[in-house]
């Protein structure tokens, strides 16, 4: 069936201007970031933020990351924090989100933070999205552009598959570079990784010169978004599976088994960054090929492999 991509646009002066007008009118747009595609709305507007929750069918208690063009801008909404300054200097703009103390007089819509004392903030690196942020006078509330608990989109077509024509505009800037959601780090007290990502615990610890903890079990208050089931392809998934299955697709790393038509390699050269970039696109492809089950080989628990394992574990939750 031919798809009607009438709301997909390549970034140009005209389409970027249209994106900005829609955002100013409190409408939602899907825009690229280096991690995954985001569903963006004016973070100061209750109307826009409410639309994000309803369109994504996102639980109201799951707060949304706020995206800024600059550190200075974010200080309208959050308290200055030394750890944030150090990590910002090293990694931003980039794929890292900071949980910091929210200012009492912040104008961010309460729907976006659900009255928590904290705010999650990020400074995306994608050129197009940076350009948009520079031309608007408000930060963007922007979770991933997918229905809640499902696979995150890493291309404009993925976003279309999620929302069809329910959003006016999807900016198509090709595949997301990283392909996994940002690292979320809580810098309010002890430094804690709430969600692993491409920037790892070791790199963060090195910059701060102190121990960094990993949130073991989902912490309700600190990170309500750490839902156990997430990133799910909507069909059963079995992880750490080491033999060729006969009743489903098999996601592997490297070359073993790839001559079989039901085997999909995340990276022929076993490169974990490439594997991360290919993970969601591969899961989506397998689902669209109508497989009824996905098996996944063991992925090394190192570097970005830690983030891949985190997503696989949640995607396989029943």
Query: Which residues of this protein are in contact with ligand AMP, per CB under 6 A?
Result: 62-65, 97, 99, 113, 116, 118-120, 143-144, 181, 184, 194-195, 222-226
**Residue in 97, 106, 118, 144 binding Mg ion, rule: CB under 5 A:** 144
Give the residue at shortest CB distance from Mg ion. Answer: 144
Q: In the structure encoding, which two tokens stand for residue 259, read together? A: 């001559």
**CA-based radius of gyration for the chain:** 19
Q: In the structure encoding, which two tokens stand for residue 81, read together? A: 């924090």
CA–CA distance, 164 with 6 (Å, rounded to integer)? 9
- Dihedral-angle region of residue 303 (phi above 0 means left; psi in -120 to 50 means alpha; beta otherwise): left
Cis-peptide into 93, omega within 30 deg: yes
CA–CA distance, 121 with 73 (Å, rounded to integer)? 11
Burial class (CB in 10 A: 0-12, 13-18, 19+), 274: middle
E strands of 20-171, at which residues?
A: 29-31, 38-42, 66-67, 96-101, 118-122, 140-141, 169-171
308 binds, among Mg ion, ligand AMP, none (CB under 5 to 8 A by kind): none
List b or e across 206-243, with b for residues whose CB sees 16 or more CB atoms inside 10 angstroms.
Answer: ebbeeebeebeeeeeebbbbbbeebbbbeeebebebee
Asked if residue 149 binds Mg ion (CB under 5 A), the reply is: no
120 binds, among Mg ion, ligand AMP, none (CB under 5 to 8 A by kind): ligand AMP
Give the residue at shortest CB distance from ligand AMP. Answer: 225
Q: What is the x/- site pattern for Mg ion, positions 86-125, by CB under 5 A?
A: ----------------------------------------
45 binds, among Mg ion, ligand AMP, none (CB under 5 to 8 A by kind): none
222 binds, among Mg ion, ligand AMP, none (CB under 5 to 8 A by kind): ligand AMP
> Which residues within the stretch 276-305 sit at the binding site for Mg ion (CB under 5 A)?
none
Give the binding range for Mg ion (CB under 5 A) out of 138-146, 185-193, 210-218, 283-291. 138-146
126 binds, among ligand AMP, Mg ion, none (CB under 5 to 8 A by kind): none
Look at residue 171 and give its three-state secondary structure: strand
Residue 3 CB, shortest distance to Mg ion, in Å, is 23
Residue 172 CB, shortest distance to ligand AMP, in Å, is 21
DSSP count for the chain of H helices, then E strands: 10, 15
Residue 143 or 196 having the CB closest to Mg ion: 143
Residue 58 or 287 having the CB closest to Mg ion: 58
Residue 317 CB, shortest distance to Mg ion, in Å, is 15
Residue 263 CB, shortest distance to ligand AMP, in Å, is 29
223 binds, among ligand AMP, Mg ion, none (CB under 5 to 8 A by kind): ligand AMP
């Amino acid at each position: 069936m031919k798809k009607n991509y009438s709301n997909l646009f390549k970034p140009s002066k005209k389409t970027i201007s249209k994106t900005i007008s829609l955002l100013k009118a409190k409408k939602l747009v899907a825009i690229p970031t280096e991690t995954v595609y985001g569903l963006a709305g004016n973070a100061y507007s209750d109307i826009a933020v409410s639309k994000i929750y309803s369109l994504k069918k996102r639980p109201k208690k799951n707060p949304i990351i706020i995206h800024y063009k600059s550190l200075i801008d974010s200080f309208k909404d959050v308290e200055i924090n030394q750890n944030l300054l150090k990590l910002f200097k090293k990694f931003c703009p980039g794929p890292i989100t900071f949980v910091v103390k929210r200012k009492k007089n912040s104008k961010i819509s309460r729907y976006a933070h659900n009255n928590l004392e904290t705010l999650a903030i990020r400074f995306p690196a994608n050129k197009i999205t940076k350009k948009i942020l520079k031309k608007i006078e408000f930060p963007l509330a922007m979770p991933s552009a997918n229905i809640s608990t499902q696979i995150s989109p890493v291309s404009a077509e993925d976003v279309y598959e999620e929302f069809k024509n329910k959003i006016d505009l999807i900016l198509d800037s090709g595949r997301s570079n990283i392909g996994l959601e940002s690292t979320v780090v809580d810098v309010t007290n002890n430094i804690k990784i709430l969600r692993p990502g491409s920037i790892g615990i070791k790199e963060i610890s090195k910059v701060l010169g102190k121990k960094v903890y990993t949130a073991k079990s989902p912490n309700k208050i600190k990170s309500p978004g750490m839902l156990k089931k997430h990133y799910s392809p909507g069909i059963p998934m079995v992880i750490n599976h080491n033999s060729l299955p006969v009743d489903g697709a098999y996601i592997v790393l490297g070359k073993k088994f790839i001559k079989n038509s039901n085997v999909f390699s995340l990276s022929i050269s076993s490169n974990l960054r490439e594997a991360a970039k290919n993970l969601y696109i591969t899961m989506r492809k397998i689902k669209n090929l109508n497989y009824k089950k996905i098996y996944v080989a063991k992925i090394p628990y190192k570097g970005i492999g830690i983030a891949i394992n985190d997503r696989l574990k949640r995607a396989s939750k029943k």
